[in-house]
Protein backbone atom coordinates (compact mmCIF):
# COMPACT_ATOMS: atom_id res chain seq x y z
CA UNK A 1 0.00 0.00 0.00
CA UNK A 2 1.21 3.51 -0.74
CA UNK A 3 2.22 5.85 2.08
CA UNK A 4 -0.07 8.77 2.97
CA UNK A 5 0.92 12.07 1.34
CA UNK A 6 3.14 14.43 3.33
CA UNK A 7 2.03 18.05 3.78
CA UNK A 8 4.28 20.98 2.91
CA UNK A 9 6.85 21.94 5.55
CA UNK A 10 5.51 24.09 8.39
CA UNK A 11 1.88 22.99 8.19
CA UNK A 12 2.04 20.38 10.96
CA UNK A 13 3.54 23.03 13.28
CA UNK A 14 0.31 25.02 13.13
CA UNK A 15 -1.73 24.89 16.34
CA UNK A 16 -5.43 24.88 15.43
CA UNK A 17 -7.12 28.27 15.91
CA UNK A 18 -9.70 28.23 18.71
CA UNK A 19 -12.69 30.49 18.07
CA UNK A 20 -14.50 32.17 20.94
CA UNK A 21 -16.96 29.81 22.63
CA UNK A 22 -20.66 30.51 22.12
CA UNK A 23 -22.43 27.86 24.25
CA UNK A 24 -22.55 26.74 27.87
CA UNK A 25 -24.22 23.38 28.63
CA UNK A 26 -27.43 23.86 30.61
CA UNK A 27 -27.56 27.68 30.27
CA UNK A 28 -30.02 29.26 27.81
CA UNK A 29 -29.51 32.97 28.23
CA UNK A 30 -26.00 33.42 26.84
CA UNK A 31 -24.08 36.69 26.78
CA UNK A 32 -21.25 36.11 24.30
CA UNK A 33 -18.36 38.49 24.92
CA UNK A 34 -15.58 36.27 23.60
CA UNK A 35 -15.17 37.23 19.93
CA UNK A 36 -15.43 41.05 19.86
CA UNK A 37 -18.59 40.93 17.77
CA UNK A 38 -20.88 43.95 17.51
CA UNK A 39 -23.38 43.64 20.40
CA UNK A 40 -25.95 45.57 18.32
CA UNK A 41 -25.89 42.93 15.58
CA UNK A 42 -25.72 43.64 11.86
CA UNK A 43 -27.17 46.90 10.49
CA UNK A 44 -30.76 46.59 9.17
CA UNK A 45 -29.53 48.01 5.87
CA UNK A 46 -27.10 45.11 5.45
CA UNK A 47 -29.69 42.52 6.46
CA UNK A 48 -32.11 43.82 3.83
CA UNK A 49 -29.43 43.90 1.14
CA UNK A 50 -28.44 40.32 1.99
CA UNK A 51 -32.06 39.09 1.80
CA UNK A 52 -32.47 40.70 -1.59
CA UNK A 53 -29.18 39.31 -2.90
CA UNK A 54 -30.13 35.84 -1.67
CA UNK A 55 -32.75 35.72 -4.43
CA UNK A 56 -29.89 35.51 -6.94
CA UNK A 57 -27.92 32.82 -5.19
CA UNK A 58 -28.01 30.59 -8.29
CA UNK A 59 -25.81 33.15 -10.08
CA UNK A 60 -22.06 33.38 -9.65
CA UNK A 61 -21.00 36.59 -7.90
CA UNK A 62 -18.95 39.16 -9.78
CA UNK A 63 -15.22 38.58 -9.52
CA UNK A 64 -14.03 42.16 -9.37
CA UNK A 65 -16.02 43.33 -6.31
CA UNK A 66 -16.44 46.66 -8.11
CA UNK A 67 -19.51 47.80 -6.15
CA UNK A 68 -18.00 47.08 -2.75
CA UNK A 69 -14.64 48.59 -3.66
CA UNK A 70 -16.39 51.73 -4.92
CA UNK A 71 -18.28 52.07 -1.62
CA UNK A 72 -15.11 51.61 0.43
CA UNK A 73 -13.27 54.07 -1.81
CA UNK A 74 -15.98 56.73 -1.42
CA UNK A 75 -16.22 56.43 2.35
CA UNK A 76 -12.47 56.38 2.96
CA UNK A 77 -11.35 58.60 0.07
CA UNK A 78 -9.31 55.84 -1.57
CA UNK A 79 -8.60 54.72 -5.12
CA UNK A 80 -10.78 51.58 -5.57
CA UNK A 81 -8.11 50.11 -7.86
CA UNK A 82 -5.85 49.77 -4.87
CA UNK A 83 -8.41 47.87 -2.75
CA UNK A 84 -8.70 44.08 -2.56
CA UNK A 85 -11.61 42.29 -0.85
CA UNK A 86 -11.28 38.97 0.90
CA UNK A 87 -13.08 36.34 2.95
CA UNK A 88 -12.48 38.29 6.14
CA UNK A 89 -9.21 40.07 6.66
CA UNK A 90 -7.97 36.56 7.53
CA UNK A 91 -7.87 35.82 3.80
CA UNK A 92 -5.91 39.01 3.08
CA UNK A 93 -3.37 38.04 5.78
CA UNK A 94 -3.21 34.57 4.23
CA UNK A 95 -2.70 35.93 0.70
CA UNK A 96 0.07 38.28 1.90
CA UNK A 97 1.95 35.35 3.46
CA UNK A 98 1.44 33.14 0.40
CA UNK A 99 2.68 35.90 -1.89
CA UNK A 100 5.62 37.29 0.05
CA UNK A 101 6.94 34.68 2.51
CA UNK A 102 8.22 31.15 1.99
CA UNK A 103 10.78 28.70 3.38
CA UNK A 104 13.79 30.56 4.81
CA UNK A 105 11.82 33.81 5.16
CA UNK A 106 10.73 35.40 8.41
CA UNK A 107 7.37 36.92 9.33
CA UNK A 108 7.67 39.24 12.30
CA UNK A 109 4.95 40.16 14.78
CA UNK A 110 4.72 41.49 18.33
CA UNK A 111 4.59 39.19 21.36
CA UNK A 112 0.80 39.23 21.79
CA UNK A 113 0.05 39.53 18.08
CA UNK A 114 -3.08 38.02 16.49
CA UNK A 115 -2.68 34.23 16.14
CA UNK A 116 -3.50 34.28 12.42
CA UNK A 117 -0.15 35.93 11.60
CA UNK A 118 1.88 32.91 12.75
CA UNK A 119 -0.67 30.43 11.35
CA UNK A 120 -0.55 31.98 7.86
CA UNK A 121 3.24 32.37 7.99
CA UNK A 122 3.68 28.66 8.81
CA UNK A 123 1.15 27.75 6.15
CA UNK A 124 3.42 29.43 3.61
CA UNK A 125 6.47 27.59 4.97
CA UNK A 126 7.92 30.76 6.51
CA UNK A 127 9.19 31.19 10.07
CA UNK A 128 7.19 33.37 12.49
CA UNK A 129 9.43 35.59 14.65
CA UNK A 130 8.18 37.27 17.80
CA UNK A 131 9.35 40.64 19.17
CA UNK A 132 8.73 41.36 22.86
CA UNK A 133 6.20 43.99 23.94
CA UNK A 134 6.50 46.47 26.79
CA UNK A 135 3.65 46.48 29.33
CA UNK A 136 1.35 44.79 26.79
CA UNK A 137 2.07 47.50 24.24
CA UNK A 138 3.84 47.08 20.90
CA UNK A 139 7.54 48.06 21.18
CA UNK A 140 8.73 49.53 17.88
CA UNK A 141 12.40 49.36 18.88
CA UNK A 142 12.06 45.66 19.69
CA UNK A 143 10.45 45.06 16.27
CA UNK A 144 13.26 46.98 14.53
CA UNK A 145 15.87 44.98 16.45
CA UNK A 146 14.19 41.71 15.44
CA UNK A 147 13.96 42.60 11.73
CA UNK A 148 16.62 40.97 9.55
CA UNK A 149 17.35 40.74 5.84
CA UNK A 150 15.15 37.62 5.87
CA UNK A 151 12.10 39.52 7.21
CA UNK A 152 9.47 39.77 4.47
CA UNK A 153 6.39 40.83 6.42
CA UNK A 154 5.76 42.61 9.71
CA UNK A 155 2.21 42.28 11.08
CA UNK A 156 0.93 44.75 13.62
CA UNK A 157 -2.65 45.27 14.81
CA UNK A 158 -3.27 48.86 15.86
CA UNK A 159 -5.26 48.93 18.14
CA UNK A 160 -3.98 45.48 19.08
CA UNK A 161 -5.90 42.32 19.97
CA UNK A 162 -6.00 40.95 22.70
CA UNK A 163 -4.39 43.84 24.57
CA UNK A 164 -6.53 46.74 23.29
CA UNK A 165 -3.54 49.08 23.38
CA UNK A 166 -2.23 51.07 20.42
CA UNK A 167 0.87 52.97 19.34
CA UNK A 168 0.97 56.49 17.93
CA UNK A 169 1.35 57.57 14.33
CA UNK A 170 4.94 58.72 14.80
CA UNK A 171 5.95 55.30 16.08
CA UNK A 172 4.29 53.63 13.08
CA UNK A 173 6.21 55.93 10.71
CA UNK A 174 9.45 55.23 12.58
CA UNK A 175 8.83 51.51 12.10
CA UNK A 176 8.05 51.91 8.40
CA UNK A 177 11.19 54.03 7.99
CA UNK A 178 13.44 51.59 9.83
CA UNK A 179 12.47 48.30 8.20
CA UNK A 180 14.84 46.72 5.69
CA UNK A 181 14.30 47.05 1.94
CA UNK A 182 11.76 44.66 0.49
CA UNK A 183 9.91 44.16 3.77
CA UNK A 184 6.19 45.00 3.90
CA UNK A 185 4.66 46.50 7.05
CA UNK A 186 1.05 45.28 7.40
CA UNK A 187 -1.12 47.41 9.66
CA UNK A 188 -4.11 45.33 10.76
CA UNK A 189 -6.92 47.80 11.35
CA UNK A 190 -9.58 45.37 12.58
CA UNK A 191 -10.36 47.80 15.43
CA UNK A 192 -9.47 51.09 13.72
CA UNK A 193 -13.16 52.04 13.46
CA UNK A 194 -13.34 52.25 17.26
CA UNK A 195 -10.79 55.07 17.40
CA UNK A 196 -12.35 58.44 16.54
CA UNK A 197 -10.67 60.38 13.72
CA UNK A 198 -8.14 57.62 13.03
CA UNK A 199 -7.43 56.33 9.52
CA UNK A 200 -5.77 53.11 10.65
CA UNK A 201 -2.68 53.87 8.56
CA UNK A 202 -4.52 54.27 5.23
CA UNK A 203 -2.75 57.58 4.61
CA UNK A 204 0.61 55.92 5.17
CA UNK A 205 -0.29 53.07 2.82
CA UNK A 206 -1.38 55.66 0.28
CA UNK A 207 2.04 57.31 0.37
CA UNK A 208 4.47 54.41 0.81
CA UNK A 209 4.98 51.18 -1.08
CA UNK A 210 6.16 49.31 2.03
CA UNK A 211 2.96 49.81 4.06
CA UNK A 212 -0.25 47.82 3.62
CA UNK A 213 -3.50 48.07 5.61
CA UNK A 214 -6.08 45.35 6.31
CA UNK A 215 -9.61 46.11 7.48
CA UNK A 216 -12.66 44.03 8.33
CA UNK A 217 -16.46 44.06 8.35
CA UNK A 218 -16.46 41.60 11.27
CA UNK A 219 -16.29 44.01 14.18
CA UNK A 220 -17.84 47.51 13.97
CA UNK A 221 -19.87 46.65 10.86
CA UNK A 222 -21.44 43.65 12.56
CA UNK A 223 -20.82 41.13 9.75
CA UNK A 224 -18.56 38.53 11.39
CA UNK A 225 -20.66 35.71 9.98
CA UNK A 226 -20.56 37.10 6.43
CA UNK A 227 -16.76 36.94 6.26
CA UNK A 228 -15.72 40.11 4.45
CA UNK A 229 -12.49 42.03 4.84
CA UNK A 230 -10.36 44.23 2.64
CA UNK A 231 -6.84 45.46 2.09
CA UNK A 232 -5.33 48.66 0.73
CA UNK A 233 -1.80 49.22 -0.48
CA UNK A 234 0.48 49.84 -3.39
CA UNK A 235 -0.90 48.88 -6.81
CA UNK A 236 2.02 46.48 -7.24
CA UNK A 237 1.03 44.57 -4.09
CA UNK A 238 -2.68 44.53 -4.98
CA UNK A 239 -1.82 43.12 -8.42
CA UNK A 240 0.19 40.31 -6.82
CA UNK A 241 -2.56 39.40 -4.34
CA UNK A 242 -5.24 39.39 -7.05
CA UNK A 243 -3.34 36.68 -8.94
CA UNK A 244 -3.66 34.38 -5.90
CA UNK A 245 -7.19 35.33 -4.86
CA UNK A 246 -9.95 32.90 -5.79
CA UNK A 247 -12.06 34.66 -8.45
CA UNK A 248 -15.32 33.92 -6.61
CA UNK A 249 -14.03 34.26 -3.05
CA UNK A 250 -16.95 36.43 -1.88
CA UNK A 251 -20.59 35.39 -2.32
CA UNK A 252 -23.07 37.87 -3.77
CA UNK A 253 -24.91 37.87 -0.42
CA UNK A 254 -21.72 38.84 1.42
CA UNK A 255 -20.84 41.50 -1.15
CA UNK A 256 -24.31 43.08 -0.94
CA UNK A 257 -24.34 43.09 2.86
CA UNK A 258 -20.87 44.63 3.12
CA UNK A 259 -21.61 47.34 0.57
CA UNK A 260 -24.79 48.34 2.41
CA UNK A 261 -23.00 48.31 5.77
CA UNK A 262 -20.17 50.49 4.45
CA UNK A 263 -22.63 53.07 3.15
CA UNK A 264 -24.60 53.06 6.44
CA UNK A 265 -22.65 55.86 8.11
CA UNK A 266 -25.33 56.42 10.77
CA UNK A 267 -24.92 52.85 12.00
CA UNK A 268 -21.13 53.20 12.23
CA UNK A 269 -21.37 56.53 14.05
CA UNK A 270 -23.90 55.17 16.56
CA UNK A 271 -21.76 52.07 17.24
CA UNK A 272 -18.63 54.15 17.76
CA UNK A 273 -20.40 56.45 20.23
CA UNK A 274 -21.98 53.60 22.17
CA UNK A 275 -18.76 51.58 22.33
CA UNK A 276 -16.87 54.58 23.69
CA UNK A 277 -19.49 55.15 26.38
CA UNK A 278 -19.91 51.49 27.38
CA UNK A 279 -16.15 50.84 27.36
CA UNK A 280 -15.68 53.71 29.83
CA UNK A 281 -18.41 52.24 32.06
CA UNK A 282 -16.83 48.79 31.91
CA UNK A 283 -13.34 50.09 32.73
CA UNK A 284 -14.70 52.17 35.62
CA UNK A 285 -16.61 49.13 36.89
CA UNK A 286 -13.49 46.95 36.74
CA UNK A 287 -11.54 49.59 38.67
CA UNK A 288 -14.29 49.68 41.34
CA UNK A 289 -13.93 45.92 41.68
CA UNK A 290 -10.18 46.25 42.11
CA UNK A 291 -9.38 44.61 38.77
CA UNK A 292 -6.52 46.08 36.73
CA UNK A 293 -6.94 46.77 33.02
CA UNK A 294 -5.02 48.80 30.46
CA UNK A 295 -6.87 51.67 28.81
CA UNK A 296 -8.42 50.15 25.68
CA UNK A 297 -8.82 51.75 22.26
CA UNK A 298 -10.90 48.84 20.91
CA UNK A 299 -14.28 47.16 21.58
CA UNK A 300 -12.94 44.95 24.36
CA UNK A 301 -10.94 45.28 27.53
CA UNK A 302 -8.26 43.01 28.97
CA UNK A 303 -8.71 42.53 32.71
CA UNK A 304 -5.74 41.29 34.73
CA UNK A 305 -5.98 38.89 37.65
CA UNK A 306 -3.54 37.81 40.38
CA UNK A 307 -2.54 34.74 38.38
CA UNK A 308 -3.72 32.20 35.81
CA UNK A 309 -5.66 30.19 38.41
CA UNK A 310 -7.68 33.20 39.50
CA UNK A 311 -8.41 34.16 35.88
CA UNK A 312 -9.56 30.60 35.11
CA UNK A 313 -11.73 30.62 38.23
CA UNK A 314 -13.41 33.88 37.25
CA UNK A 315 -13.85 32.60 33.68
CA UNK A 316 -15.62 29.45 34.97
CA UNK A 317 -17.78 31.48 37.36
CA UNK A 318 -18.93 33.84 34.60
CA UNK A 319 -19.62 30.85 32.31
CA UNK A 320 -21.84 29.27 34.96
CA UNK A 321 -23.96 32.45 34.70
CA UNK A 322 -24.02 32.27 30.89
CA UNK A 323 -21.41 35.00 30.38
CA UNK A 324 -18.69 33.91 27.96
CA UNK A 325 -15.44 35.89 27.90
CA UNK A 326 -12.05 34.92 26.45
CA UNK A 327 -9.23 33.43 28.50
CA UNK A 328 -6.28 34.27 26.21
CA UNK A 329 -3.92 31.48 27.30
CA UNK A 330 -2.86 30.85 23.70
CA UNK A 331 -1.74 34.48 23.49
CA UNK A 332 0.60 34.11 26.48
CA UNK A 333 -1.73 36.05 28.76
CA UNK A 334 -3.03 33.32 31.12
CA UNK A 335 -3.59 35.77 34.00
CA UNK A 336 -6.00 37.87 31.90
CA UNK A 337 -9.56 37.72 30.62
CA UNK A 338 -10.57 39.58 27.46
CA UNK A 339 -14.11 40.93 27.58
CA UNK A 340 -15.97 42.39 24.62
CA UNK A 341 -17.74 45.67 25.34
CA UNK A 342 -21.46 44.89 25.25
CA UNK A 343 -24.58 47.02 25.13
CA UNK A 344 -25.45 48.96 28.30
CA UNK A 345 -27.44 45.92 29.51
CA UNK A 346 -24.56 43.59 28.64
CA UNK A 347 -22.05 45.69 30.55
CA UNK A 348 -24.41 45.73 33.56
CA UNK A 349 -24.73 41.95 33.48
CA UNK A 350 -20.97 41.45 33.16
CA UNK A 351 -20.20 43.80 36.05
CA UNK A 352 -22.87 42.08 38.19
CA UNK A 353 -21.27 38.74 37.37
CA UNK A 354 -17.80 39.99 38.28
CA UNK A 355 -19.08 41.46 41.56
CA UNK A 356 -20.77 38.15 42.42
CA UNK A 357 -17.50 36.34 41.64
CA UNK A 358 -15.54 38.65 43.90
CA UNK A 359 -18.07 38.18 46.74
CA UNK A 360 -18.41 34.41 46.22
Ligand X SMILES: *Cc1c(COP(=O)(O)O)cnc(C)c1O
Which residues of the shown chain bind ligand X in the complex (CB under 6 A)?
36, 88-90, 114, 157, 161, 188, 190, 216, 218-219, 224, 229
CB under 8 Å to 178, separation ≥6 — which residues? 140, 144, 147
Q: In what order do the strands lie in the sheet with 127-131?
A: 83-86, 229-232, 211-216, 184-188, 151-157, 106-110, 127-131
Q: With respect to ligand X, which residue has the nearer C-beta, 114 or 194?
A: 114
Question: Distance between CA atoms of 155 and 89, rounded to whole angstroms?
Answer: 12
φ, ψ of residue 338 to 5 degrees: the values are -95, 130
Quote the least distance from Cβ 3 to ligand X, whole Å.
35
Nearer to ligand X, 190 or 211 (CB): 190
Q: Which is nearer to ligand X, 21 or 27 (CB)?
A: 21
**Residue closest to ligand X when measured from CB atoms:** 88
Q: Which is nearer to ligand X, 83 or 357 (CB)?
A: 83
Three-state SS for 152?
strand
Q: Compute the least distance from the CB of residue 128 to ligand X, in Å.
A: 15
Q: How far is the CB of 155 from ligand X (least distance, A)?
A: 9
Q: Is the dihedral of CA 91, 92, 98, 102 positive or negative?
A: negative
Beta partners for residue 338, in sequence order: 302, 326
The burial class, CB within 10 Å (0-12 / 13-18 / 19+), for 220 is buried
- C-beta of 2: minimal distance to ligand X in Å? 37
Residue 312 neighbours by CB under 8 Å, 6+ apart: 327, 334
Closest to ligand X by CB, 217 or 305: 217
- Using CA atoms, how far residue 170 sits from 113, 158, 166, 206, 299, in Å, is 20, 13, 12, 16, 23
Calculate the CA dihedral of residues 13, 245, 55, 45 and round it to 10 degrees: 80
What's the burial of 94, exposed, middle or buried (CB within 10 Å: 0-12/13-18/19+)? buried
Q: Which is nearer to ligand X, 229 or 342 (CB)?
A: 229
Task: Report the nearest approach of ligand X to the CB of residue 115 (Å).
Answer: 9
Closest C-alpha to 24, from 305, 301, 317: 317
Q: Please identify, using beta-carbon distances, which residue of 190 and 357 lies nearer to ligand X.
A: 190
Nearer to ligand X, 230 or 357 (CB): 230
Amino acid sequence: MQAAPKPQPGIMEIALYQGGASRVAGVDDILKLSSNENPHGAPQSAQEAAREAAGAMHLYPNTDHAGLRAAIGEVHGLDPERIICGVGSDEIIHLLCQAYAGPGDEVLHPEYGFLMYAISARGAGATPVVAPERDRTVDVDALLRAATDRTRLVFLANPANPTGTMIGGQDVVRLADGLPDGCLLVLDGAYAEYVADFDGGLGLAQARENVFVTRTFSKMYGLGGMRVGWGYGAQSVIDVLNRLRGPFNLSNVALAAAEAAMRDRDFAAACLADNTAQRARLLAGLADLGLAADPSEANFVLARFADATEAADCDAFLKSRGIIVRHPVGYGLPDCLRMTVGTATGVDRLLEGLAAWRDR
